[in-house]
């Protein structure tokens, strides 16, 4: 017996029927925190779930023609990611084996329903986070405690790390491999997608950081219950600069979003953004400088301010998707990594995918040298489809 579940992306270019084996439900799956997944998707954690056979079309239940609507990105000899070429949603993961049919996995955030279909069971590749990542706020889901595996579940890799772990406590690591510190020590934070086509750097807040104006986001004031005159931010608070009220601002506000648009343009339930003035986002002046800067901080004279509205000055590898009127999402056209979100109402303020930050330079993937996480709420958490997963995270994160 098969249980079909629809999966789709935000733009509607891709719509599949995923045939789960009924007596295997719910399927136990992992939350992956590896550097490859983070930098290829722009998400701090990803979750795929395997299914038998191949993805089917929603209309005919025949095997789908993936190459007509999806972009493939090969990440190794046996693994390929498939993402929507129009809206960037990561949808499928394919394991290939020359001696057997491909094994397919579907991104959980694309499923129209998850209850009774997927059960989150454990974390993998915690060691890649350097600081535990958001696994520290996913200790249990639906009453099930989630083991935190250092790497994968392959033989010899199944060491379990405790909650609150940081890389400096890893006795098996070489000290020079990690740069975890408690205080900000840099003025330039490099960031990039996995393939390196998108490369940029963040500077510390400057005088120009206070120039933009913006209403409050749902992250701070829930739109469904807050009066419009409050959301409008009539006092012109520079809420994105942190610590709030400090004489010297050194960090930017960051938070997690569970809105339908973020979910369906990424393929996953939680999108993690840092809100940063465009004046503090620098990109290489040339494609050659971009290639040279991947993995190391470029010098200031190699950089210029990010431009998103001028087609002639936009980073060459960046692709744009208009998710609604005046709302723009930017992603890597090669590996599909979600990079930026910006509104034409506030073009000088940009949401930046925290997962693209260089985890070593940032002191871990949570980038707490650079950002202050908003603990009051998960943005648009009421829209979550996987309410068990998002609800468990939200509860622990607020505590």
Residue-range domains of the chain with CATH? 2-175 (2.170.150.70), 177-398 (2.170.150.70)
CA distance 117 to 98: 29
Higher pLDDT residue, 312 or 399?
Answer: 312
Radius of gyration of the CA atoms of the chain, in A:
20
Q: What is the pTM of this model?
A: 0.92
pLDDT of the residue at 299: 66
Minimum mean pLDDT range among 66-75, 146-155, 325-334: 146-155
Q: Is residue 6 a contact partner of residue 26, using CB atoms and an 8 Å limit?
A: no
pLDDT of the residue at 300: 66
Q: Which two tokens stand for residue 34?
A: 């590896």
Mean pLDDT across 211-230: 97
CA distance 324 to 342: 11
Residue 296 has pLDDT above 70, yes or no: no
pLDDT of the residue at 175: 35
pLDDT of the residue at 176: 38
> What's the pLDDT band for 186 if we cut at 50, 70, 90?
low
Mean pLDDT across 346-375: 97
Question: Distances from the Cα of 43 to the Cαs of 26, 113, 272, 308, 331, in angstroms?
Answer: 24, 21, 7, 21, 12
CA distance 111 to 17: 9
List CB contacts of 369: < 8 A, sequence separation 6 or more: 181, 183, 184, 185, 186, 189, 362, 363
Higher pLDDT residue, 184 or 22?
Answer: 22
């Amino acid at each position: 017996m098969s249980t079909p579940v629809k999966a789709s992306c935000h733009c509607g270019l891709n719509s599949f029927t995923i045939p789960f084996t009924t007596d295997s439900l719910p399927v136990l799956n992992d939350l992956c925190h590896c550097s490859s997944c983070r930098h290829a998707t722009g998400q701090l954690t990803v979750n795929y779930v395997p299914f038998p056979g191949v993805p089917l079309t929603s209309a005919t239940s025949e095997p789908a023609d993936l190459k007509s609507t999806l972009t493939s990105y090969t990440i190794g000899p046996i693994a390929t990611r498939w993402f929507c070429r129009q809206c960037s949603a990561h949808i499928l993961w394919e394991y290939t084996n020359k001696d057997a049919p491909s094994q397919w996995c579907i991104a959980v955030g694309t499923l129209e329903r998850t209850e009774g279909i997927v059960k989150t069971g454990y974390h993998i590749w915690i060691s890649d986070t350097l600081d535990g990542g958001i696994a520290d706020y996913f200790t249990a889901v639906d009453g099930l405690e989630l083991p935190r595996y250092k790497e994968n579940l392959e033989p010899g890799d199944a060491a379990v790390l405790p909650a609150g772990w940081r890389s400096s406590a890893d006795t098996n690591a070489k000290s020079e491999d990690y740069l975890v510190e408690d205080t900000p020590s840099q003025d330039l934070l490099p960031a990039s997608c996995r393939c390196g086509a998108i490369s940029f750097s963040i500077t510390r807040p400057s005088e120009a950081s206070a120039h933009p104006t913006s209403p409050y986001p749902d992250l701070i004031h829930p739109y469904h219950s807050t009066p419009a005159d409050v959301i409008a931010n009539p006092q012109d608070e520079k809420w994105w600069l942190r610590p709030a009220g400090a004489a010297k601002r050194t960090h930017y506000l960051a938070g997690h979003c569970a809105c339908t648009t973020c979910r369906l343009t990424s393929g996953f339930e939680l999108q993690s953004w840092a809100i940063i003035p465009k004046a503090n986002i620098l990109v290489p002046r040339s494609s050659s400088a971009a290639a040279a800067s991947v993995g190391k901080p470029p010098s200031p004279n190699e950089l210029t301010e990010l431009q998103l509205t001028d087609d002639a000055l936009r980073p060459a590898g960046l692709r744009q998707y208009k998710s609604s009127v005046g709302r723009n999402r930017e992603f890597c056209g090669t590996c599909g990594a979600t990079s930026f979100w910006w509104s034409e109402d506030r073009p000088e303020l940009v949401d930046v995918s925290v997962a693209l930050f260089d985890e070593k330079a940032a002191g871990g993937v949570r980038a707490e040298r650079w950002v202050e996480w908003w603990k009051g709420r998960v943005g648009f958490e009421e829209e979550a489809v996987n309410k068990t997963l998002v609800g468990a995270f939200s509860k622990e994160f607020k505590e």
